[in-house]
Amino acid sequence: MSLPHAILTSLAEKPGSGAELAQRFDKSIGYFWQATHQQIYRELARLEERGLIRSAAREATRGRKRDYAVLPAGLEELARWTVLAQDPLPVRDALLVRLRAVAVMRAGSAPGDTARAVMRAELARHRGLHEQQLSLYQGVEGDDFTAGSGAQAQNTPDLRLQRAVLRAGIMFEQAWVNWADETLPTLEH
Amino acid sequence: MSLPHAILTSLAEKPGSGAELAQRFDKSIGYFWQATHQQIYRELARLEERGLIRSAAREATRGRKRDYAVLPAGLEELARWTVLAQDPLPVRDALLVRLRAVAVMRAGSAPGDTARAVMRAELARHRGLHEQQLSLYQGVEGDDFTAGSGAQAQNTPDLRLQRAVLRAGIMFEQAWVNWADETLPTLEH
DNA sequence: AGTCTTTATGCAACTAGTTGCCTTAAGGAG
DNA sequence: CTCCTTAAGGCAACTAGTTGCATAAAGACT
């Protein structure tokens, strides 16, 4: 279970409120472990209860904003967790299940032909989404990991590791686009 | 939610008992949508209640084996579901979260250096797992999708589509291995 | 001042997935 | 003919994730 540790990591990179965290989960760390604001607020409450983070109300701001920051015990927990052996999560891809479902429908039958046409469109649509994500990642790589980039504060995270994570995103999105290009002709009649 | 449809698909490919389905979920369809035997039995009960599949006790067999088969209403439901637009599930990869966690630990500090060493080993281990999965897929591709393969019964699933699904597995595992090879040097000191 | 909108937080109820243990029934070993 | 093992099915309790809605506080609109 990685959500509390994803939150600890994100707070260790930069403290902030629940809403700010939720925004970061819509990009950055959330590209590899997403969460809704509900999950985030619940985890923040649990983490504070366990003494791993602390919070304080922020004045002169909208809503009831609170700032969260990691405590030393939180960093220890993070260090403890990262070194545990963990197997990769199995893949879950509904589109591949759907393709197999279409494979059992007779081509030539009405539902089979409709399904094939829809899947062709879906595949093209997904290709577009993955390509978009890909160029987003490539943009980040260009912005953050080129020669004259800033971030020379004392708490600098290891840029090489951050880049490696980004590269993973790039390679998987690229693989997805390549697969779609290879597969689309199969669905053309 | 794809589990009931993954089960319908699997039963449409070939009827069988809950235990047989569970075995198929450990390979084949389960490579893209896994489930435990508990989930499978529960879903089978629900699907039968909804009138999408039927079951019959099988005699002269161990345990209380029942055979399940898809009913026409089940095929209709499957056709209905496949043509719904569905966005890709976001990626969830704990190893990438862990790498970001390591990135915020100071290299040179004891926990930071330990974590880097452990992650190097973990990355190598995961690379091995993915390479194993890759050659498994490549084996299946060689066995099932070469010239003189059997399967000419009337209910033949579309082999081109089944192959496309398998190719997705191959390309993603390959991407994983490639990324690991690119990233491992970053963790060498 | 009063209403409307936006931001931030949160509760409650639900669905999905996991884990540990248990029962039923057959096959085989002594 | 009992005991042990294996296969098949399942209950109960738990953890994780989702959804819909509610509340609080600040700013904008009139």
Q: Higher-confidence residue: B63 or A38?
A: A38
Q: Does the pLDDT value for residue A3 go beyond 90?
A: yes
> Residue A168: how many CA atoms within 13 Å on its side-chain side?
26
Q: Please name the residue whose C-alpha is nearest to the C1' of nucleotide D17.
A: A39
The least confident of A3-12, B125-134, B143-152 is B143-152
B32-60 pLDDT, tens digit per residue, is 999 999 999 999 999 999 999 999 987 76
**Stretch B7-24: mean pLDDT:** 94
Q: With pLDDT > 90 as the criterion, what percentage of chain A qualifies?
A: 80
- Residues B48, B51: Cα–Cα separation, whole Å: 5
For residue A80, what are its two tokens? 């403890």
- Taking the CB of residue A68, how many other CB atoms lie within 10 A of it? 22
CB-based contact, A36 to chain B, within 8 Å: no
Q: What's the pLDDT at B132? A: 95
Q: What's the pLDDT at B45? A: 94
Query: Biggest alpha carbon distance in chain A?
Result: 66
Are the C-beta atoms of A58 and A66 separated by less than 8 Å? yes
* Secondary structure (H, E, C), A103-141: HCCCECEHHHHHHHHHHHHHHHHHHHHHHHHHHHHHHHH
- Residues A169, A63: Cα–Cα separation, whole Å: 35
**Secondary structure class of B15 (helix, strand, coil):** coil
Q: Does the pLDDT value for residue A111 go beyond 80?
A: yes
A117-156 pLDDT, tens digit per residue, is 999 999 999 999 999 999 999 999 998 887 665 555 556 7
**Stretch B81-86: mean pLDDT:** 94
A43-65 pLDDT, tens digit per residue, is 999 999 999 999 998 776 777 89
Q: Higher-confidence residue: A98 or B155?
A: A98
Q: Does the pLDDT value for residue B149 go beyond 60?
A: no
CB-based contact, B9 to chain A, within 8 Å: yes
The residue behind tokens 């004045």 is A59
- Residues A100, A119: Cα–Cα separation, whole Å: 11
Q: What's the pLDDT at B155? A: 61
**Which helix H or strand E contains A38, and what residues bound it?**
helix A37-49
- Residues B25, A133: Cα–Cα separation, whole Å: 30
- Residues A164, A32: Cα–Cα separation, whole Å: 13
Q: What's the pLDDT at A181? A: 98
Dihedral through CA B142, CA B89, CA A82, CA A38, nearest 10?
A: -160
- Residues A130, A110: Cα–Cα separation, whole Å: 30
N-to-C CA span, chain B: 44
Chain B residues whose CB is inside 8 A of the A30 CB are 90
B124-144 pLDDT, tens digit per residue, is 999 999 999 999 999 999 988
Are the C-beta atoms of A122 and A95 separated by less than 8 Å? yes
Q: What's the pLDDT at A59? A: 72
Q: What's the pLDDT at B57? A: 86
Task: Determine whether the distance from the CB of A86 to the nearest atom of strand C is below 7 Å.
Answer: no
Q: With pLDDT > 70 as the criterion, what percentage of chain A qualifies?
A: 94
Q: Does the pLDDT value for residue B148 go beyond 80?
A: no
The residue behind tokens 């994100």 is A10
Residues 6+ apart with CB under 8 A from A97: B2, B5, B6, B9, B29, B32, B33
Contact at CB, A99 and B165, closer than 8 angstroms: yes
- Residues B77, A117: Cα–Cα separation, whole Å: 18
**Identity of the residue in A78, A103, A175 whose CB atom sits nearest the CB atom of B175:** A175
Q: What's the pLDDT at A63? A: 78
Q: What's the pLDDT at A152? A: 52
pLDDT band at A165 (very low <50, low <70, confident <90, very high): very high
- Residues B99, B112: Cα–Cα separation, whole Å: 11
Q: How distant, in Å, are the alpha carbons of A10, B28, B151, B156, B163 from that of B147?
A: 52, 21, 12, 16, 13
Using the CB atoms, write b or e for B70-101: b if 16+ within 10 Å.
bbeebbebbbebbbeebeeeebbbbbbbbbbb
**Stretch A174-185: mean pLDDT:** 97
Q: Which nucleotide is nearest to B55 (CA to C1')?
A: D9
Q: At what angle do helices A72-82 and B94-103 cross, to 10 degrees?
A: 130
**Identity of the residue in B79, B111, B119 whose CB atom sits nearest the CB atom of A115:** B79
Q: What's the pLDDT at A149? A: 56
Are the C-beta atoms of A169 and A133 separated by less than 8 Å? yes
Q: Please name the residue whose C-alpha is nearest to the C1' of nucleotide D6.
A: B62
